[in-house]
Structure 1
Amino acid sequence: MSSDHEWAMGEACRQNDVERKWLGDATLNRPSFAEAEILDRQGVPSCHAWKVPPGEVPAHLSATQALRRWQAGACAMCSARPTRLLVDHCHRSGLIRGLLCTSCNTAEGLQDAPSFVAYRSRPPAVLLGVEERYGSTWDGFAQTPTDQVERNAAHVDAAEAMFANILPKFRRS
């Protein structure tokens, strides 16, 4: 075995230990999907009931990686554990908010229900104290200049205006 391989294996173990220490018991005793439905009716997204790990996010983790570790496969809105979570982001700022199941990610863009409003004001990224732009340098969102953010906001405003008359059909009463 080469010394490079041994170093890489040792570094991976060290990073795992740092992550486990940071997370501690933060992923235990989370609301079930049924309990998350009750929270939703009270205007509380599931992630607001989760324990936030103490201390700083380990330096070797990106914001998205930290969210993946902390959310541990659970949707931030409903606590469902689908095979895949989507990276939710603000279309105005380009900042990642959290990880959502397909249903919640779709509903988030169409609903002003109290739980979605609460989620947008304190998403998992804010709870963990991390910030990262959605996308990559290839699609331009990762390093969005101010004028692009303003164009994105204008597109969001135009889309909201265009769909304003059909959105109420999708909103919960």
Structure 2
Amino acid sequence: MREARRQDDLDRQWLGDATRNRPSFAEAEILDREGVPACHTWKVPAGEVPPHLSGAQALRRWQAGACAICSARPERLLVDHCHRTGLIRGLLCTSCNTAEGLGSAPAFAAYREHPPAVMLGVEEEYGSPWDGFAASVANVSERNAAHVDAAEALFGDIVGRFRISQGDS
């Protein structure tokens, strides 16, 4: 019990006021139009992430239930990761997680270029019960790159035909 309190105190000390004065969902919409994800306006905690926190735990504490792109506060956030490297980038609401994978909007590009994990200086592999938690980054990267390539091959033609049919109308 005492150890848990000590860790909570370390978390609070590390976070300080970094979770205060964040943009609302409406303010984040304006930022999005300017190509800025909400997380790029957040204060980054000073100092090192407490050693008892994993990268994902540090993100959860710092994001404090807010989506890194739109500032929405859904019941749960999804762990977003890079499919090429296998590394966690940040926590997103379902809408932003879906749109980020499909979108090339400036806010998504800025998020991918400088995600919350980079902002905090944490690096953690994405893992799930389906693909294994202990896979090496090299194996995850190779597998994820193959999945991305397969998806692009599978859906690339469909997207291309959709764009052509939209332009014909």
TM-score, with structure 2 as normaliser: 0.88
**Which of 77, 102, 121 is matched with 1:110 structurally?**
102
Once the two structures are TM-superposed, the CA of residue 19 in structure 1 deviates from its matched residue by: 0.5
**Which of 2, 16, 31 is matched with 1:39 structurally?**
31
2:67 is the counterpart of 1:69: no
Report SS of the residue matched to 1:87.
Answer: strand
Paired position in structure 2 for 1:17:
9
Report SS of the residue matched to 2:153.
Answer: helix
Report SS of the residue matched to 1:134.
Answer: coil
2:147 is the counterpart of 1:166: no
Report SS of the residue matched to 1:109.
Answer: helix
What does the per-residue CA deviation read over 1:21-67, in whole Å, with 9 as the maximum and x for residues that have no partner? 10000000000000000000111000000000000000000001000
Give 5+ residue unaligned stretches, structure 2.
164-169
Equivalent-residue separation in structure 2 for 1:29 and 1:150 (angstroms): 40
Equivalent-residue separation in structure 1 for 2:137 and 2:121 (angstroms): 23
Once the two structures are TM-superposed, the CA of residue 160 in structure 1 deviates from its matched residue by: 2.0
Equivalent-residue separation in structure 2 for 1:154 and 1:128 (angstroms): 29
CA contact (8 A) 1:137 1:143 kept: no
Give 5+ residue unaligned stretches, structure 1.
1-8
Paired position in structure 2 for 1:82:
74
Paired position in structure 1 for 2:119:
127
TM-score, with structure 1 as normaliser: 0.86
The residue identity in structure 1 corresponding to 2:52 is H
Q: Identity rate of aligned residues, in percent?
A: 75
**Which of 36, 51, 56 is matched with 2:43 structurally?**
51
For the structure 1 residues 90 and 19, does the alpha-carbon distance in structure 2 shift closer, same or farther, using more than 3 Å as the test?
same
Equivalent-residue separation in structure 1 for 2:154 and 2:130 (angstroms): 29
CA contact (8 A) 2:100 2:108 kept: yes
Paired positions, count:
161
**Which of 18, 23, 34 is matched with 1:26 structurally?**
18
Paired position in structure 1 for 2:88:
96
Once the two structures are TM-superposed, the CA of residue 20 in structure 1 deviates from its matched residue by: 0.4
Report SS of the residue matched to 1:94.
Answer: coil
For the structure 1 residues 12 and 125, does the alpha-carbon distance in structure 2 shift closer, same or farther, using more than 3 Å as the test?
same
Higher helix share: 2
CA contact (8 A) 2:69 2:111 kept: yes
Paired position in structure 1 for 2:166:
none
Once the two structures are TM-superposed, the CA of residue 85 in structure 1 deviates from its matched residue by: 0.3
- Does 77-86 or 130-139 show the bigger shift? 130-139
RMSD (CA atoms)? 1.9
Paired position in structure 1 for 2:167:
none
